[in-house]
Chains A and B, each alone.
Chain A
Amino acid sequence: MSTVKYARQSFWSKNIAFFLFLPAFLLTVGILLPFGYSVVMSFTNFNLTAGTSSFIGLGNYIRLAKDPEFWNSLKVTMLFTVGAVAFEVGIGFISAYLLNIGLLGQRVWRTLFLLPIMLPPTVAAIMWKLMMAPIQGVLNYLLQLVGLPGSEWLGSSSTALFSVILIDAYVFIPFAGMIFLAGVQNLPKEPYEAAAVDGVSAWFTFRKLTLPLLKPIILIVLLFRIMDCLKHFDIIYAATKGGPASATMTLSVQAYYHSFRWTDMGYAFAHLVVLWAIVYALSYFLVGQWRKASAEVRT
């Protein structure tokens, strides 16, 4: 990055960076304040209806450690994240490959492939909810047509988590796919020509050349998808509201219930602070890995 040097240094031009920057800075502080408020209030027993709050130290966090509902929501959050990310990265990678090998009408397919990424997630949830209706829904009908058994989908606690993972995958496979596609298209040509001259197998080229070169791209996809899944709220809330029987109760949904249904704000904030700590630690790690990987690829 370079700086611009000016000959005449008036007060305005000397501090121009500051003035340009000030409004955004103020708004950012405006966002940080509520964030700090959350952290502080997580040490109180702030109740929304009563409007009272007093300092209770680590009380909420001790309560969390003993709360089976909390451990359940932590488990659901992790399962949801692992399931959805694996699905999206896997199918996304295959899609990127299929959309890059020059099949007829490739450009049209690429555009159509992207459509779900721009759906409002709540709308996607509603669409799938309509299709997943156990009795009159079209999904069970189609399964039955090809001779497979139907499912209760969102209606049963044993299949609900899988169903919401499916909906999340529907929206975000294109996200992974299109980033992989961009990565594959930006791959340098020379190493591949060299590999072709040396006559190494396709699998070897993929493992030793493509994967390492794509590492920064893969890490970016992981970073965005893991973070979004950990804090996930809208698809699950619109599809199941956390049910049935807490089968899809993620940390965010749980925190929402504590705050609005039970007006137990202090406890809700404690949930969110824990979630935030997990997200922060993981994103710090992944961003670090990404920077390292992209530095390696560039040299």
Chain B
Amino acid sequence: MLERALRLWRIIPVVGLVLIMMWTLFPIYWVFNMSIQTPIDVISYPPKFVFDPTAENYSVVLFGKSWLGKYETVETDFPRYYLNSIIVCSGAVVLSMLVGIPAAYSLARYKFRGKENFAFTLLSFRFAPSLIVILPLFVIFRRLGLYGTYHGMILAYQLITLPFSVWLMRGFFEDIPIELEHAARIDGYSWWGIFRKIDLPLVAPGIAATAVLSFIFAWNEFLLGYILSSDATRPVTPSLMGFISYEQVLWGQMAAAAIITLLPSVVLAIFIQRYLVRGLTFGAVKG
């Protein structure tokens, strides 16, 4: 009796873990499953777990042909949206790094008035409802002619990438013992020499992780792109909304588009897994 109770006690965590893994993985498996089904298979009931896979949905989505559903045909420009996302997100990350690295360094190494206020203003952008900045940007951008342009969007995406980059990289710079800089100073290095020869090599992995995470956040962002882009510059996440009204008939293609859209984020995230905890908490928890 006691032995049985004990064995039961041991098995509960295993069951729990299996349930959590099913909950985590099933949706991804299932959507991938749908993405390789023909229009007939994908809407059959009961749902098919075994079938002849097809790459049709992917070729339709990737090469921008019309989407042939069972009842309806839809034209989309998915490759273009994908390219837009790459342009806007890369641009936003490069600008954030150019502006953010010096700012993070000065926050980590110098004392000046209003420093902490500035840092917290940046942090508060993370918590503010983004519409409160995006709606006025929409009005202002239309007046300035920035609406629907790549450079306008790269500027607007700083709302996502800049606070994050500055906060995270500040932590990475603070991790470097100040004594190293003092020692280099005595050896006659200039400020620039210290920054380049001592600090940069040491924070390089941190900077790389910051850049990758910023890219993921920018890639996953929806509202900015949805409101501030024109059809020609629309990034991929908001573009999915454009054909969501067809999801009833175009399940296979929707699934393929979803898989292609999530791929960069998930693949990049696996590479910088070590920094995820630190990154997602703005450096508050050092994982």
A279 to B132, CA, bound (A): 12
Chain B residues with CB under 8 A of A269: 132, 135
Chain A residues with CB under 8 A of B139: 37, 48, 265
Q: List 8 A-B contacts (CB under 8 A).
A: A35-B136, A120-B265, A122-B238, A129-B247, A130-B255, A227-B127, A268-B131, A280-B124
Do most interface residues of chain A lie in helix, strand or loop, or is the interface mixed?
helix
Interface residues of B in 24-42 (CB under 8 A from A): 24-25, 27-28, 30-31, 34
B residues neighboring A (CB under 8 Å):
13-14, 16-17, 20-21, 23-25, 27-28, 30-31, 34, 43-47, 98-100, 102-103, 105-112, 118, 121-122, 124-133, 135-137, 139-140, 155, 158-159, 162, 166, 174, 178, 181-182, 185, 191, 216, 219-220, 222-223, 227, 237-238, 240-241, 244, 247-248, 251, 254-255, 258, 261-262, 265-266, 268-270, 273, 276-277, 280-281, 284-285, 287
A27 to B118, CA, bound (A): 12
Which one of B23, B43, B118 has the highest number of Cβ atoms from chain A below 10 Å of its Cβ? B23
Chain A, interface size category, equals 35 or more
Chain A residues with CB under 8 A of B121: 28, 32
Whether the Cβ atoms of A123 and B191 lie closer than 8 Å is no
Chain B residues with CB under 8 A of A136: 43-45, 47
Stretch from A61-69, A94-102, A200-208 that touches the partner: A94-102
Whether the Cβ atoms of B132 and A272 lie closer than 8 Å is yes
A265 to B255, CA, bound (A): 35
**Shortest Cβ-Cβ A-B pairs, 4 listed:** A24-B103, A17-B110, A34-B136, A20-B102
A282 to B202, CA, bound (A): 37
Q: Does A79 contact B (CB under 8 A)?
A: no
Residue in chain A with minimal CB distance to B107:
A21
Residue in chain B with minimal CB distance to A278:
B129
Chain A residues with CB under 8 A of B14: 103
Given A4-B185, A138-B30: 8 more A-B contacts, CB < 8 Å = A6-B185, A16-B191, A21-B107, A136-B43, A182-B277, A227-B126, A231-B129, A272-B129
Whether the Cβ atoms of A268 and B110 lie closer than 8 Å is no
A112 to B17, CA, bound (A): 12
